[in-house]
Structure 1
């Protein structure tokens, strides 16, 4: 660990003294920090922002009203968790956050539903070595859903001229994260650093609900769906305090995924249940990474964040329970499994219609 370089020894004959003189030329080629100085928790914080924004988008889908009232207000608790295993030189990473969301929505006469929400999350990151990060997230989100029928889809999928029902969804979420990281070195004084992350999420897609045939079917509808999901996160540059402080350049995370799957639903007088299973390939990815500098010496190195597997299995289960014509409770549990990581999200809320 430390300065890296190459040395060249040149021997020169001294005719007078009948000896040879050696000259050593040292060329610095880089700097390899010890593991405590590397700082991967900073670029990995963008994965925390990624998970937070995606959890909010999932909540916006769940909070879409199933009440008959045209306008509603809702409140929900929200929590998410991400763990990435150690892979080679990439350190393990863990993120968790929890908070609340306040929202409201309304239907229009043309079968459109608009939903809006404000969210606040409090989180915690760690790299299982010397760094810990506390996060505070402020987020806003909106979603749009249209229920319609299409003869074109009916001709393409079934070959007849009857209209086929379809659902179009679009969601947008933005979150700002305040990060406060403390690094407790074993041989130096602790250092602290603060910075901000900004994350945007856009998702749109379609689904075709199909009513199950037969009275003994264990589901009432099964709905194939296809979505396009884009999340972009940016980390601002910053400097730590103290003589052992580092400076981190800004960096970005970009991920474009195409979830494809099917949703099963079961209806009864008061509760409804659903289960979704999806395959999620990340078709375009820019993993986070930045240049880090030890300010006391000016030595720099590249700090790389972890790289999640680019294929995932997503399973989501939820329900709505109507206690009255204008009041219901909803809940949701979601798990995403990748090659070396796993993430979870849970929501529990209530909605009042008027």
Structure 2
């Protein structure tokens, strides 16, 4: 775990070291402001889910170890041999029940995460410049890469949340050899992060020079760090998904003689229906057209208000479509939350 902690710390803080090396001082300040806002969302929304999930799945998927037999009980093992069979069957049934509950809960949380991802990706970038003009000092809005970094964070946050949940799920069931294998993979992810970050930074420098001295290629150096983190976290999320799929397959096969383990963790059940994807795509196009006409950092206040009103209207439409097409899933989620709250009380 120590080596893994080193890799995680480097992957978490490495972008700041690279920004300090490749970016100008004013852009370092803009990047710091943007990452602080982004990490605030992560701490408020996603970190509690990760911590709760780690505890919940650790308890749900834990397999109690049998106590070592004492000398006084060794003689009675033979007489109890036949009576142990029902207990073994009951234990296998309980394990299958726990696996099914863990898989269904994981799919429900991942489905919630994909919906939140659509919210960030569809509604985030068109409104970041407008909201930044209200929330940030004018000198940071106009003279730094903070708005561009915040737009890139709209892609970074969903990937970070997905990876965080999958790694929390993995940490609840992983054995020491699995953690060692994960540490080696994180070492490869560190190399991917460094190479992609340097590549994005050089691309930003070249585009900045070609633009006749434009600042950092439109913030490409700073946003490049965010996109490098997206590649890093995305690769780790893919690793976590394949690990958990294999875990549920092995665990289900070990607790049952049937071969139905492949359907325990179904990736398709973690994705919204086609209607939600279609509506999200249409709304995304409309909002980006609205941003080009009414939004922006220096647009008049009336234009910004029009842009925000269009966004609120289409967000309500998106919520209605999600509720109408996924009423059963929402009911399951509400039931799960109520059960967790009742257990906590």
* TM-score, reference length from structure 2: 0.27
* TM-score, reference length from structure 1: 0.27
Point out the structure with max Rg over C-alpha.
Answer: 1
Please state which structure has a larger fraction of its residues in strand.
1
